[in-house]
Structure 1
Amino acid sequence: MLQELRIKDFAIIEEADIDFQAGMTVLTGETGAGKSIIIDALGLLAGGRGSVDFIRKGAAKAVLQGQFVLPASAPVFQILDDLGIDHEDQTLILQRDLYQAGRNVCRINGVLVNLTSLRKVGEMLIDIHGQNEHQSLMRPETHLSLLDEYDHHLRDELRRYQDAYQQYRKLKTALDKREANEKEWAQRLDILQFQLNEIESAQLVPHEEEKLIEEKDQLDNYQTIHDALENSYQALMGENVDVIGQLGTTMDELEKISDLSSDLNGIYEKVSDAFYNLQDVSHEINNQLDSMEWDENRLDQIEQRLDLIHQLKRKYGDSVQQVIDYGQKIKQELAEMQDSAESSEEQEKAVKTAYDSAYKLAQTLSSHRHQAAHELEKAIHQQLSALYMDKAVFKVKFSGNQELTSTGLDNVEFYIQTNPGESMGPLAKIASGGELSRIMLALKTIFSQQQGVTSIIFDEVDTGVSGRVAQAIAEKISQISQNSQVLCISHLPQVAAIADHHYFISKKVIDGRTGTSVQKLTAQTRIREIARMLSGSEITELTLKHADELIQMADQIKNKKG
């Protein structure tokens, strides 16, 4: 649900920080006080179209922030994973900054995103319904998915069908690719085979290049290394200079007096350590000299090997390991291509088998969709009857596809006949005014639980109704709030009375500037506001009593349904 909304320098709102709760929240106030501005802010926060006209006069930018608390299983977290956005807890923060220059800066959990990504996430969190806009339920392209969501058996069948359809498409694509360009297919096979042979014949070993370079450096500097070792050995044990022999004589002389004092013994031990260390070093130098061998052929071999590695790196990667990895990759691709290099007849047979399997599942899915559509029509009719549209007829109209699609064989659109004798037409075109409000509420009551939208917003959807219809609409909005958080702008006292939370939006002029303030009403101030909605500017004891009665009646209705 939406937990907190922060607005700064947006339209006539200088600054507002609004806390929201679960259930149904109503926003009321005089016309022009700024109620719809709050809804506009939420719309932009969810990725709606922005404009510099929204920025408060004199401000450099407008800032909108919304904090949402979601269940761990919320589908929006998968979208965040796809976008690479962290979500360690179940809190999600959206932010959008609008600048005077026309620039938009959007963030999700502090990560910069583009407007498309913000909209993708926002659509999963906020569903705004206005009196004159075509919201999600008014878009025919959403009707099939709504029908599938209505019946969980359909959801399972759709998944099974889509698995079969994807298998068919995979085989069909492979066959089409092969038939469309057999020549390119064969060329690709030859290229992969050549590359794999070239890499495998080289028998590369990880870190081989580094070792070869080290060995080459030693061979290139053979004479320098040999001379340095020989001179060092002669300096230590040569005929002319015998450092180790002289150090041995010194050690022998010091040994004679080492037991006379601790200082002399310390000197003796140091000389003794030096003697034996240098003796070990001389042996190592001698071993190095004995093992050194100039092999011109080996140098040629190393240079040829390094040249081969260089050529392979130039073609297939920046390192020996990358060349090896590339070889493994094309080996797998080659194996897949060879596996699929069966005869065209066998491929065609596999494609037909996969198509027949998918088509059979599509037919079953379509049959069950028709059954679910009949149940949905009855459920919608019950909802419309509760909203005093019992003469209306709701119909799920099917039109078939000639070919399989990712959703099966069906196209679906919702149709309605609002009054007897009138023609039945598409939902998006046939309804208007107060009828549209009631139809949308009936549909939303059915679909709100399945859609999983965090916050549903109704922006004056009760316009043009009164009396018993107004009461029915109020009860229906309250019913929807049992499944999703509902925010509602309303001029109807019946709607305000049944809300769980009530905010009053007012407009004030301070220092020549118009501003909007948001106040959460107490039990007493709420009665007074509903009385104002009942009677207008003049509030009497009678209207106050009537407002209190409305609230008590609403509480009884909610308790009865609860």
Structure 2
Amino acid sequence: DYDAETIIRREILPSGKSRAFVNDTPVNLSELQALGSLLIDVHSQHETQALNDDDFQFQLVDAVAGNNDILRTYQQTLRDYRKAHTILQEKQAARAQAFQEQDYHSFLWEELVAAQLVAGSQEEMESQLEKLNHVELIQAQMAKVISILQNESFGVVDQLKESKNALSKIASFSPEYQQFLTRISSVLIEIDDIAAELQQGAEELQADPETLQSLQEQLQTIYTLQKKHQVQTIEALLEIQESLQSKMVSLTNLEEEIVQLEQEVSEYLQELEQLAHSLTQNRQAAVGPLVQELQQIVANLGMPNAQFAIDFPIKTTFIPQGNTGIQLLFAANKGGQLGVLKKVASGGELSRIMLAVKAIMSSKIQLPTLILDEIDTGVSGEIAHKMGEIMRGMSRNIQLFAITHLPQIAGKGQHHFKVYKEDDDTRTKSNVKALNEEERIQEIAQMLSGEVVTPAAIGQARELLN
């Protein structure tokens, strides 16, 4: 919850569990860390090495160049590009795999199409093949049946006709006899039809070696395909045929997707090129003022001949900061050859350069609070005094904490807190105490003279505070 004054609180219970709050609203630690990074910049004494880090150097230059909005757009575009590029590679791999299978799928599909499969035709062909394989036996048995049915005098048809005639003579005497006549008449009609159809079938059934061979070949093709695809019916083969056709259509769709993705990736690349170019242009334009300001600040810190330069070597790939690298070059002495900062700067020089960098960034990024933890390591005397002046200047824009052992810097603060430890019989406790004016004089004097505070140190402490 927003409030003009933000209070961050963390409760640590004796059990070791903890709870965190922002303005009395519970938050988890990840949320607390995310908020803290926006509110406070902590510079530890080891962070001086961050000067050698490319990300930190980019952050410095971009702060001066005002690249925040462009950089945010560029990094989102880079994420979109990498995502699209990954999908494109996956699709291309799938296409390569599909191409390997395409010929085989096409062969299987063409083989099925060539068989001219028709649902339900297998049973019909098998029946026809059985007839042609036994044509002589079928003809003989049909002739025998026809003879039994239609033989004159002794055939079933003639016998039924005589039975019908006999019943017709008595049918009028009783409904029962009429019913017998009707039933005999029905049987006669059915037998007559059967005899006629048998006669027609016998006449149509002829030995046909060519048709027999054709049926055998067609069925053998079907049986081979069924065995190959491990199915039992033509309907199942037709389903496989349709599936193979779908796979070939899918490959066509995959090609279209790849073309579309290639276009998308190309557009992202063009946009990245333009944004990266804008980033580099802004950075190059900012280098002059940045170098001048750095040199001016470090000159006040006892390095009047220090020189800086910043190079942007071109990269072959896009990185989160653009398409160039960065090199912060430094020379401490007049006429000295510029070299990579981490290779040529001493620890004391790095401390002073880091303070100059923080001073510049604090005015560009506008962090609410900056904590400098012994950034004065490796300096003393007049240089420490100058560093204190720079910190006091920074504190006009932001809230600044300086953790220091140097009296020259401690004397510049508006408030002074002493951190100290106390031992009792069981444990060591750390304490923080806000010093009043007299206590502050005593503390700074102790920094100057050591454990035994001298009147001269007291006088010098008063001068520092004034």
Smaller-chain TM-score bracket: 0.5 to 0.7
**Structure 1 residue aligned with 2:239:** none
Q: Which amino acid aligns with 1:499?
A: G
Q: 1:411 pairs with 302, 313, 325, which one?
A: 325
Q: 1:148 Cα shift? A: 1.3
Distance (whole Å) between structure 2 residues aligned to residue 514 and residue 159 of structure 1: 47
Q: Which amino acid aligns with 2:54?
A: P
Q: Does residue 398 in structure 1 map to residue 312 in structure 2?
A: yes
Taking only the aligned residue pairs, the percentage that are identical comes to 34
- C-alpha contact (below 8 Å) 1:504/1:520 kept by paired residues: yes
Distance (whole Å) between structure 2 residues aligned to residue 119 and residue 426 of structure 1: 33
Call closer, same or farther: CA 1:182–1:107 in 2, change over 3 Å.
farther
**Structure 2 residue aligned with 1:107:** 20
Distance (whole Å) between structure 2 residues aligned to residue 358 and residue 132 of structure 1: 35
**Structure 2 residue aligned with 1:131:** 45
CA RMSD, aligned part only? 3.8
Q: 1:88 Cα shift? A: 6.4
**What are the Cα deviations for residues 148-192 of structure 1, in whole angstroms up to 9, with x where unaligned?**
12222x33433454565566556545544543435999xxxxxxx
**Structure 2 residue aligned with 1:46:** none
Q: Which amino acid aligns with 1:107?
A: A
- C-alpha contact (below 8 Å) 1:471/1:494 kept by paired residues: yes
Q: Secondary structure at the match of 1:181?
A: helix
**Structure 2 residue aligned with 1:443:** 357
Q: Does residue 367 in structure 1 map to residue 281 in structure 2?
A: yes
Q: 1:503 pairs with 388, 404, 417, which one?
A: 417
Q: 2:10 pairs with 53, 70, 95, which one?
A: 95
**Structure 1 residue aligned with 2:116:** none
Call closer, same or farther: CA 1:343–1:471 in 2, change over 3 Å.
closer
**Structure 1 residue aligned with 2:396:** 482
**Structure 2 residue aligned with 1:458:** 372
Q: Which runs of 5+ in 2 are unaligned?
A: 99-252
The equivalences for 1:33-44 within 5 A come to none
Distance (whole Å) between structure 2 residues aligned to residue 410 and residue 513 of structure 1: 54
**Structure 2 residue aligned with 1:544:** 458
Q: 1:410 Cα shift? A: 1.7
Call closer, same or farther: CA 1:493–1:182 in 2, change over 3 Å.
same
- C-alpha contact (below 8 Å) 1:129/1:135 kept by paired residues: no
- C-alpha contact (below 8 Å) 2:298/2:304 kept by paired residues: yes
**Structure 2 residue aligned with 1:356:** 270
**What are the Cα deviations for residues 341-380 of structure 1, in whole angstroms up to 9, with x where unaligned?**
9575565445434423431332232122222123211211
Call closer, same or farther: CA 1:455–1:361 in 2, change over 3 Å.
closer
- C-alpha contact (below 8 Å) 1:134/1:428 kept by paired residues: no
**Structure 2 residue aligned with 1:143:** 57
Q: 1:441 Cα shift? A: 0.7
Distance (whole Å) between structure 2 residues aligned to residue 167 and residue 353 of structure 1: 11
Higher strand fraction (1 or 2): 1
Q: Which amino acid aligns with 1:521?
A: L
The equivalences for 1:193-272 within 5 A come to none
Q: 1:469 Cα shift? A: 0.8
- C-alpha contact (below 8 Å) 2:410/2:444 kept by paired residues: yes
**Structure 2 residue aligned with 1:388:** 302
**Structure 2 residue aligned with 1:22:** none
Q: Secondary structure at the match of 1:389?
A: coil
Q: 1:497 Cα shift? A: 1.5
Distance (whole Å) between structure 1 residues aligned to residue 47 and residue 72 of structure 2: 32
Q: TM-score, normalised by structure 2?
A: 0.56
The equivalences for 1:21-36 within 5 A come to none
Call closer, same or farther: CA 1:365–1:517 in 2, change over 3 Å.
closer
Higher relative contact order (CA 8 A, sep 6+): 1
Over alpha carbons, which structure has the higher Rg?
2
Q: Which amino acid aligns with 2:68?
A: R
Call closer, same or farther: CA 1:345–1:357 in 2, change over 3 Å.
same
Q: TM-score, normalised by structure 1?
A: 0.48
Q: Which amino acid aligns with 2:329?
A: Y
Q: Secondary structure at the match of 2:411?
A: helix
- C-alpha contact (below 8 Å) 2:48/2:354 kept by paired residues: no
**Farther-moved stretch of structure 1 (369-378 vs 162-171):** 162-171
**Structure 2 residue aligned with 1:11:** none
**Farther-moved stretch of structure 1 (351-360 vs 167-176):** 167-176
Q: Which runs of 5+ in 1 are unaligned?
A: 1-85, 186-338, 553-562
Q: 1:500 Cα shift? A: 0.6
Q: 1:467 pairs with 381, 405, 409, which one?
A: 381
Q: Which amino acid aligns with 2:304?
A: D
Q: 1:530 pairs with 444, 452, 458, which one?
A: 444
**What are the Cα deviations for residues 432-481 of structure 1, in whole angstroms up to 9, with x where unaligned?**
33222211111111112334444322233323322221210111121222
Q: Secondary structure at the match of 1:499?
A: coil
Q: Which amino acid aligns with 1:113?
A: N
Higher helix fraction (1 or 2): 2
**What are the Cα deviations for residues 389-444 of structure 1, in whole angstroms up to 9, with x where unaligned?**
12222232322221334432122243322335766444345433322221111111
- C-alpha contact (below 8 Å) 2:301/2:352 kept by paired residues: yes
**What are the Cα deviations for residues 69-89 of structure 1, in whole angstroms up to 9, with x where unaligned?**
xxxxxxxxxxxxxxxxx5566
- C-alpha contact (below 8 Å) 2:315/2:324 kept by paired residues: yes
Q: Secondary structure at the match of 1:391?
A: coil
Q: Which amino acid aligns with 2:439?
A: T
Q: Does residue 519 in structure 1 map to residue 433 in structure 2?
A: yes
**Structure 2 residue aligned with 1:212:** none
Q: 1:126 Cα shift? A: 3.7
Call closer, same or farther: CA 1:131–1:425 in 2, change over 3 Å.
farther
Q: Which amino acid aligns with 1:427?
A: L
